[in-house]
Structure 1
Amino acid sequence: MTLIEPAAPRRRLRRGVVILPSAFTLGNLFLGIWAIVTASRGAYDTAGWMIVGAAIMDLLDGRIARFTATGSAFGEELDSLVDAISFGVAPALIAYFAFLRDGGEWAWILAFLYIVCAVFRLARFNIEQAGTAKANFHGLPSPTAGACLATYFAFTETAFWDSFLPQVPIARTAGWLMLFVGVLMVSNVLYPVVPRFSIRTWGGRFAIFLMLAALVSAFTAPAYFFFPFSIVYITWGLVRSVGMGFLDRLPERDPLYDEVDEDPDDERELDYEAMRPRRRFIRRRQSDRERRA
């Protein structure tokens, strides 16, 4: 006699696995909102580290969804909406509170333009690349742009800045940086995806080595690591795209333009010949009724 075990524990486990990526996405949202509140209180460096934490959450939720095969259209849309806040609104407000608030009545327009670029970037990503395997990102990823902008304040507080860059206008540079990364988000520059970790290939081993080195640097000297690292990544994408001729690798159509097919020839024609048996059947039923009457 074969005993069949109940499937309820397995279903509960499956449900828990499905919820796990969304939990990381909501953690991303929590850190983004917390960063806004923290920046409004004047703790700009702490707010910047929260954006870095949100970027880590964003990296993990996608990898967990792929690893557990629990990705969904709902998860993709939720992730984009959360990213618009954590890497669009939050970094823009951090920069505004820290550098632009005293720059005039209309200084907030720079923050608005950055947010518009971030929202456009995420919308384009949903159309072009969401749910597919990627070798490159089309445009600067919003987490990188947000982390670069949010950690700029911490880097300006370092001894390196005081020693080698004291003549650089901090507030004006922040405004130009905001516009620069915003334009890169909606540009056609290709940025490489984080390589997969593996001990079987040299590329995978090198990725593991880079990740370990990045973790050590991030924990030992975060103010010296995150902003320069993001600048290096941004510069590498620009140099790489120019060197490889990125104009030859653009998408076939503009993802911001929704094409509507209004061709009148696309109308469906009725097949009257196929309808004739149905008509004969109806006539036969009518004649049967007349005989019975």
Structure 2
Amino acid sequence: MNERFRRPPVRRAVVLFPSGLTLANLFFGVFAIVTASRGNYSQAALWVVCGAIADAFDGRVARATGTGGRFGEELDSLVDAITFGLAPAMIVYFAVFSQDNWSWIWSFLFTACAVLRLARYNVAQAGVSKRYFQGLPSPAAGITLATYFWFSQSPLYAATVDAGWPWHQLIRVVMGVLSFLMISQVPYPVVPKLSLRSFEGIAGIVFLVGGFTMLFTRKFEWFFPMATAYIAFGLLRGLWLGLIERRSGKRSEHRQDEELLDLVDDEDDIDDADVEYERDPAPPPPRRPRAPVLPPMPCVSASS
């Protein structure tokens, strides 16, 4: 058999590798739903985190190998809707809402907002170089919701949250806030390139090292506070930028009003000058005296 058909070329393997990471993300999302249906909610949250790791690398690998395209972007969005929209919502449903008739609406609300967030991203920001996301990214929202179970079952919850507020009641507030932020206009920073030359790069390294440290040391209860810190940072930063933009907008409007008033004053001065000119016109120029008209000379006949 021809060598070409016995072994796929390296280029084809490189093209398929980013899509393989995306499908791994899908595998972890589906497995998280299955695990939650069996009552193992802590393990289900771990699979969502594993899906986030695969999601963080598929796009980077595609850009590094030059194999990114429209197909990969659409596939990534569809998978994110399952892993970070449906899977965390189903974890909460099996853990809290399965015994209630209508509480599953919260799971629907979270999933619907995640899907709307991804659809808006595909229309407005997909394939465009960007520094900020429009609204809370669905992976951040999914990780926050999934890791809430770890946080709520640890002593850290009792130490930081009012003990009179049970965790299964607070989950509704968490889902409502995350759902709203996903479809909001709040700008959230993208995951920066790992580098020691910028503050964003150093912050990315700190978050990456901190995440893997908590994962390997099994300090799972700290994932939720770290995700909450990212959410609070973006929200406070968006409010601060909104206030600055509003103040600058008021200043520009005030400056435009002043320029308009100056223009009106100039027009009034011109109108006043015209009125004065019409009221006191300039005297006419003096008339030149006419030259005297001489009488005609008498004609003298030749005979005289």
TM-score range, shorter chain: 0.7 to 0.9
Contact 1:139 1:185 (8 Å CA) reproduced: yes
Aligned to 1:177: 174
Please state whether the residue corresponding to 1:58 is helix, strand or coil: helix
Find 2:232's aligned residue among 217, 230, 235.
235
Aligned to 2:283: none
Find 1:162's aligned residue among 158, 172, 195.
158
Aligned to 2:116: 120
Flag the 1:239–1:211 CA change in 2: closer, same or farther, 3 A.
Answer: same
Flag the 1:17–1:188 CA change in 2: closer, same or farther, 3 A.
Answer: same
Aligned to 1:224: 221
Find 1:152's aligned residue among 141, 148, 154.
148
Deviations 1:241-288 (A, max 9, x none): 000118959xxxxxxxxxxxxxxxxxxxxxxxxxxxxxxxxxxxxxxx
Contact 1:44 1:94 (8 Å CA) reproduced: yes
Flag the 1:57–1:7 CA change in 2: closer, same or farther, 3 A.
Answer: same
Give the TM-score, by structure 2 length.
0.74
Q: Whole-Å Cα distance in 1 between the matches of residues 35 and 226 of structure 2?
A: 24
Give the TM-score, by structure 1 length.
0.77
Contact 2:147 2:221 (8 Å CA) reproduced: no
Deviations 1:100-156 (A, max 9, x none): 222x31111111111110100000010111112110010000011011111111111
Contact 1:88 1:114 (8 Å CA) reproduced: yes
Aligned pairs for 1:68-217 within 5 A: 68-102=65-99, 104-165=100-161, 166-201=163-198, 203-217=200-214
Please state whether the residue corresponding to 1:117 is helix, strand or coil: helix
Q: State the 1:29 CA deviation.
A: 0.4
Q: State the 1:213 CA deviation.
A: 3.3
Q: State the 1:217 CA deviation.
A: 3.0
Q: State the 1:8 CA deviation.
A: 9.0
Flag the 1:111–1:19 CA change in 2: closer, same or farther, 3 A.
Answer: same
Contact 1:190 1:246 (8 Å CA) reproduced: no
Aligned to 1:284: none
Q: Whole-Å Cα distance in 2 between the matches of residues 32 and 61 of structure 1?
A: 15
User: What is the total number of aligned residue pairs between the two structures?
Assistant: 243
1:18 aligns with 2:18: no
Aligned to 1:285: none
Residue 241 of structure 2 aligns with an amino acid whose one-letter code is: M
Q: Whole-Å Cα distance in 2 between the matches of residues 148 and 201 of structure 1?
A: 27
Deviations 1:38-74 (A, max 9, x none): 0000000110111011111111101111111100111
Q: State the 1:175 CA deviation.
A: 1.4
Q: State the 1:160 CA deviation.
A: 1.6
Q: Whole-Å Cα distance in 2 between the matches of residues 84 and 134 of structure 1?
A: 21
Contact 2:211 2:223 (8 Å CA) reproduced: no
Flag the 1:15–1:247 CA change in 2: closer, same or farther, 3 A.
Answer: farther
Q: Based on CA coordinates, which of the two structures has the bigger radius of gyration?
A: 2
Residue 178 of structure 1 aligns with an amino acid whose one-letter code is: M
Aligned to 2:266: none
Please state whether the residue corresponding to 1:101 is helix, strand or coil: helix
Flag the 1:15–1:192 CA change in 2: closer, same or farther, 3 A.
Answer: same
Q: Whole-Å Cα distance in 1 between the matches of residues 126 and 53 of structure 2?
A: 18
Identity of aligned residues (%): 47
Aligned to 2:40: 43
Q: State the 1:215 CA deviation.
A: 2.3
Contact 1:28 1:53 (8 Å CA) reproduced: yes
Q: State the 1:201 CA deviation.
A: 4.5
Residue 140 of structure 2 aligns with an amino acid whose one-letter code is: T
Please state whether the residue corresponding to 1:151 is helix, strand or coil: helix
Contact 1:188 1:246 (8 Å CA) reproduced: no
Q: State the 1:205 CA deviation.
A: 4.1
Structure 1: unaligned runs, 5 residues or longer: 1-5, 250-293
Q: State the 1:174 CA deviation.
A: 0.8
Aligned to 2:269: none
Flag the 1:203–1:39 CA change in 2: closer, same or farther, 3 A.
Answer: closer
Q: Whole-Å Cα distance in 2 between the matches of residues 9 and 72 of structure 1?
A: 27
What is the RMSD computed on CA atoms of the aligned residues? 2.3
